Amino acid sequence: MRSQKTTNGSKVKSICAVCAFLWLSGLAFAQDSRNLTPVQLKIEQQQQRLSSSDVEERRDAVMRLGAMRRAAASRAALPALQDAAAIVRATAAKSILSLGDEESARYLLPLLNDKDEFVRRETAYALGHTHSRSATAALSDALLNDKEDGVQGAAAVALGQIADEAAVIALVGTLAPELSGPAKKKQKQEVNPFVLRAAAAALGQIKSRAGTAALVSALNNEKLSSDVRREAARSLGLIGDPAAAPALRAASTAADPFLAEIAHQALKKLARG
């Protein structure tokens, strides 16, 4: 009988000890929470959700961290770049941009080699937002060598945003491969019009005269889509190279009224010098 009482007493003491521990832990957490600012508390709440087994909850947490536009929130989202789900990794690519241009680029660059096309594409777009020239080489490689049109197009857009003249070689090789010489690696027969248009636009954003010949070639190529030729004319106006004048004059009388108008406006820019 005494043994039974002793056992019951030990159980009661154990339960009380557990309850005391939980109460003290809760008190410590409450005190710690009171020491956090409202923003820090929100970041912590979203960071805890990154451990959820539900993919959509993790994606939502990453998106909310990015929407805070704070370095601390972006830092909390960093683990999501390695998430098992592609949608979470892709969402994280833009959610870490508040870390600053160079630091963001450093974390993003490895994802250009991600096995998932969507992740690579979103990473390329995110790198464009960093405006970091440290991404030029990797984006140029993605433009020339990635097998997916969406990734190539995103890389071209990003290179235009970064506006590093070192990207001109890759952009010219995409827009007018015939000008790149025999050493140019053979590309697939047809390049997606969106990729070509993005390459033409990027050359205009960079504003290097090294891109003039490729843009003139695209402008004169009636086999290309109207959108590509229009973008080529617009970019020639932005670059302002007098060597483009003959091609722009010819395009100013094109049957496509939109192309003709863009070429006309580009000629006016050239005239203003």
Cα 236 to Cα 266: distance, rounded to the nearest angstrom: 7
CA distances from 62 to 81, 217, 262 (A): 10, 44, 42
Task: Confirm if 132 and 123 have CB atoms less than 8 A apart.
Answer: no
pLDDT for the residue 178: 85
CA gap 100, 119 in Å, rounded: 20
Per-residue model confidence (pLDDT) at position 33: 54
Within 8 A by CB and 6+ apart from 3, the residues are none
Between the two ends of the chain, the Cα-to-Cα distance in Å is 106
pLDDT computed for residue 152 by the predictor: 98
Residue 35 is predicted with a pLDDT of: 81
Q: Which domains does the chain have, with CATH numbers?
A: 33-92 (1.25.10), 100-162 (1.25.10.10), 179-273 (1.25.10.10)
Total-model pTM: 0.84
Q: Mean pLDDT of residues grouped by 10 in the chain (273 residues)?
A: 49 45 44 74 96 98 97 97 98 97 98 98 98 98 97 98 98 91 52 96 98 97 96 98 97 96 95 82
Orientation of helix 257-272 relative to helix 226-239, angle to 10°: 10
Cβ atoms of residues 187 and 177 within 8 Å: yes
Distance CA 110, CA 26 (A): 40
pLDDT of residue 36: 81
Q: Look at residue 181 in the predicted model and tell me its pLDDT.
A: 63
Separation CA 154–CA 146 (nearest Å): 11
